Homo-oligomer: A and B are copies of this chain.
Amino acid sequence: MIQYLTTHPWKIVEEGFQPRHHRSSESIFSIGNGRFGQRANHEETYTGPTLQGSYVAGIYYPDKTRVGWWKNGYPEYFAKVLNSINWIGIRVWIDGEELDLAVCSTNNFRRELDMQKGLLVRSFDVTTISGKQARIESIRFCSMADYETAVIRYSVTPLNFDGAIRFTPYLDGDVHNHDSNYDEKFWEPVSSDTTPGGGSVVCRTKKTAFEVAASMQLDVLLDGASQSVSYAEFSRDFYSENNLEIEVKTNQTTQLMKYVGLVSSLNYSTAELKSAAERAALRAKTFGFDKMMSAQVEAWSNIWEMADIQIVGDDEAQQAIRFNIFHLNQTYTGEDSRLNIGPKGFTGEKYGGSTYWDTEAYCIPFYMSTKNQEVARQLLVYRHNQLGKAIENAEKLGFSNGAALYPMVTMNGEECHNEWEITFEEIHRNGAIAYAIHNYIRYTDDHSYLAEYGIDVLTGIARFWAQRVHWSEAKGMYVMHGVTGPNEYENNVNNNWYTSYIARWCMRYAMETLAYVKHHDAQAYTTKTTALKFNEAAEIKQWQHIIDNLFLGKKEGSNIFLQQDGFLDKELRSASSLNQAERPINQHWSWDRILRSCFIKQADVLQGIYFFEEDFDMETIRENFDYYEPMTVHESSLSPCVHSILAAKLGYEEKAYEMYMRTSRLDLDDYNHEAHEGLHITSMAGTWMSIVQGFGGMRVENGELTFNPMLPKKWKGFSFKVMFRGEVKTLKVGEV
Q: Which residues of A contact B (CB under 8 A)?
A: 65-69, 71-73, 182-183, 396-398, 417-421, 424-425, 470-475, 479, 481-482, 491-492, 494, 565-566, 568-572, 586-593, 595-596
Contacts and interface: CB of A to CB of B under 8 A. Distances in A.
Given A471-B571, A481-B595, 17 more contacts: A66-B67, A67-B67, A67-B68, A68-B418, A69-B419, A72-B586, A73-B590, A182-B182, A182-B183, A425-B592, A474-B569, A481-B569, A481-B570, A481-B596, A482-B592, A491-B492, A565-B565
Contacts of A475: 569
Nearest to A492: B492
Given A492-B491, A565-B566, A591 B424 contact: yes
A216 to B, nearest CB: 37
A587 B73 CA distance: 10
A65 B565 CA distance: 34
Nearest to A565: B566
A473 B65 CA distance: 43
A492 B483 CA distance: 12
Contacts of A418: 68
B474 A68 contact: no
A494 B590 contact: no
A565 B571 CA distance: 17
B492 A595 contact: yes
A72 B595 contact: no
19 contacts: A66-B67, A67-B68, A68-B418, A71-B590, A72-B588, A72-B590, A72-B591, A73-B592, A182-B183, A397-B593, A398-B593, A420-B592, A472-B568, A473-B572, A479-B569, A482-B596, A491-B492, A565-B566, A565-B569
A566 B470 CA distance: 13
A220 to B, nearest CB: 47
A592 B491 contact: no
A569 B477 CA distance: 9
Contacts of A479: 569
A419 B590 CA distance: 12
A595 B71 CA distance: 12
A439 to B, nearest CB: 28
A476 B587 CA distance: 32
Of the candidates A68, A424, A482, A586, the one having the most CB atoms from chain B within 10 angstroms of its own CB is: A68
A595 B420 CA distance: 10
A181 to B, nearest CB: 8
Nearest to A69: B419
A90 to B, nearest CB: 36
Most buried by B among A68, A72, A568, A592: A592
A491 B67 CA distance: 17
Contacts of A474: 568-569
A590 B424 contact: yes
A351 to B, nearest CB: 10
Contacts of A470: 570-571, 596
Contacts of A424: 590-592
Most central of A67, A182, A424, A591 by chain B CB within 10 Å: A591
Contacts of A494: 566, 569
A258 B494 CA distance: 62
Contacts of A587: 72
Nearest to A425: B592
A422 to B, nearest CB: 8
Contacts of A586: 72
A66 to B, nearest CB: 5
B591 A71 contact: yes
B68 A398 contact: no
Contacts of A568: 472-474
Nearest to A593: B398
A68 B69 contact: no
A586 B73 CA distance: 11
Nearest to A481: B596
A472 B569 CA distance: 5
Contact of A595 (B68, B69, B482, B592): B482
